[in-house]
Amino acid sequence: MDYFLTETQQEIRDLAYRIAEEKIKPVRAEYDEKGTFPWDIARVLSDSDLFGSYIPEEYGGLGEGLFSGILVTEQLARICSGIALVFEGTLLGTYPLILFGNEEQKEKYLPRIANAEIISAFGMTESGAGSDATGIKSTATKDGDHYILNGTKQWITNAVEAEVYTVVCLTDKERGIRSATAFIVERGTPGFGFGKKENKMGIRASSTAELVFEDCRVHKSAILGKVGQGLRVAMDTFDMTRPVVAAQAIGLAQGALDEAVTYSQQRVQFGSKIASFQSIQTMLADMAMKIESSRLLLYHLCRLADRGDKDLTKLSAIAKLISSDMAMQVTVDAVQIFGGYGYMRDYPIEKMLRDAKITQIYEGTNQIQRLIIANELIREYNRSKR
């Protein structure tokens, strides 16, 4: 189905899936088992011009916008959600630069990201500030033309592999989140290092670790946007990257459905293929229905984003919420179709179930997404009454 995609979008989608089938599928179990980072896949994506598909042409990308980012993510996640994060996590780290970077910052970093010379990461979450973004404690103290960063960021995707990071810190403790400011920090900056590398349940091919700042000195030219604009940098970034989490969830669910349909045609019980059983057919139909509904919503959202619509917060939260809940249900049902075999690592379906859970958690838990949606509804109502 072409979903009214342009010819270029279809080519991007098909190329990403071909890379996933040919390059990722043979190694996904090994990467999951060892928890190693897929640099080889990043280079393949770069050689295919996909790594910078969403980056503007003037900075070395294809200039195909958010839609291309979700198409690549969806097809990679269809085969391995963990390996897909080499692309997805970099997109998260890059969008603050696209949205808020000045010309000098964009010219310095975006071309290098587009060709996968470097990858990026985004640091907001802390041990006491996950769902509550206003609870961050990391500080950036002004010292002449520099800022001194102190604090720790937790559960950061691409952490120990990235070369450039956007981190949000408080420039005035008394003003709290109103003073939050986004800084670009390069790997190797004195005072910047890494803490605990996490041993995760799923997405194990993705690097997740702490960023540690101990009197880390950065020049004021590293400020992204303006002083005090850090929360806006984060929230506007999430409006553009929550759809990418939705794409990860949809791709993962599609992969689980692909596996379940194939298995149902091969597995024989009571003298018949289980695909002929009405109970199995009903489960497969429900899975397909939920995936298609989520995909259509996501594609609509991305078309709005790429045409420049600004008020995307509610729809972005809805897409992330619906798609991730759907992926969790679809992978649970897929394991059920596989029965006992689905619980074994001989088949990829148990990995898909493990990978699906994180989509309900990161970039705002689904409980938080519901609050965002409700708050946007109330804001829209109050605005209509003025």
Assign 253 a pLDDT band (cuts: 50, 70, 90): very high
Q: What is the mean pLDDT of residues 162-176?
A: 97
358 and 247 within one domain: yes
Is the pLDDT at 284 greater than 80? The verdict is: yes
Of 118, 134, 167, the domain-final residue: 118
Per-residue pLDDT of 195-242, as tens digits, reads 999 999 999 999 999 999 999 999 999 999 999 999 999 999 999 999
Distance CA 116, CA 61 (A): 11
48 and 132 within one domain: no
Tell me, yes or no, whether 1 lies in a domain: no
242 and 101 within one domain: no
The percent of residues in the chain predicted with pLDDT above 70, rounded, is 100
Per-residue pLDDT of 16-27, as tens digits, reads 999 999 999 999
| Domain residue limits at 377 | 231-384
Q: How many CB atoms lie within 10 A of CB 356?
A: 28
* CA distances in angstroms from 54 to 94, 335, 355, listed in the order given: 10, 34, 24
Concatenated DSSP letters of 132-167: -GGG---EEEEETTEEEEEEEEEEEETTTT-SEEEE
CA atoms within 13 A on the CB side of 14: 9
192 and 89 within one domain: no
Q: What is the mean pLDDT of the chain?
A: 96
Amino acid at 67: F
Active-site positions read 363
Is the pLDDT at 266 greater than 90? The verdict is: yes
Q: Can you give the pLDDT at residue 368?
A: 96
20 and 76 within one domain: yes
Q: What is the mean pLDDT of residues 63-79?
A: 98
Q: Can you give the pLDDT at residue 240?
A: 96
Per-residue pLDDT of 24-58, as tens digits, reads 999 999 999 999 999 999 999 999 999 999 999 99
Of 184, 204, 228, the domain-final residue: 228
97 and 136 within one domain: no
| 8 A C-beta contact, residue 139 and residue 208 | no
Angle at 252 between CA 248 and CA 253, to 5 degrees: 120
Of 228, 261, 289, the domain-final residue: 228
Q: Can you give the pLDDT at residue 129?
A: 87
What the block records as the tokens of 142 is: 């002004």
Q: Can you give the pLDDT at residue 374?
A: 97
97 and 58 within one domain: yes
Pairing of strands 164-170, 120-123: parallel
114 and 125 within one domain: no
Identify the CA nearest to 211 among candidates 172, 164, 143.
Answer: 164
330 and 224 within one domain: no
Q: Can you give the pLDDT at residue 274?
A: 97
Q: Is 386 exposed, middle or buried (CB count within 10 Å of its CB: 0-12, 13-18, 19+)? A: exposed
Per-residue pLDDT of 241-251, as tens digits, reads 999 999 999 99
210 and 125 within one domain: yes
Least reliable range by pLDDT among 73-87, 129-143, 199-213, 226-240: 129-143
Distance CA 169, CA 217 (A): 13
Number of independent structural domains in the chain: 3
Is the pLDDT at 386 greater than 90? The verdict is: no
Q: Can you give the pLDDT at residue 313?
A: 96
Q: Which residues of 249-283 are buried (b: 16+ CB within 10 A; e: fewer)?
A: bbbbbbbbbebbbebbeebeeeeeebbeeeebeeb
Q: What is the mean pLDDT of residues 142-157?
A: 97
Assign 179 a pLDDT band (cuts: 50, 70, 90): very high
Is the pLDDT at 191 greater than 90? The verdict is: yes
207 and 235 within one domain: no
Q: Can you give the pLDDT at residue 71?
A: 98
Q: What is the mean pLDDT of residues 96-118?
A: 97
Per-residue pLDDT of 288-341, as tens digits, reads 999 999 999 999 999 999 999 988 999 999 999 999 999 999 999 999 999 999
Per-residue pLDDT of 334-347, as tens digits, reads 999 999 999 999 99
Q: Can you give the pLDDT at residue 324?
A: 98
359 and 257 within one domain: yes
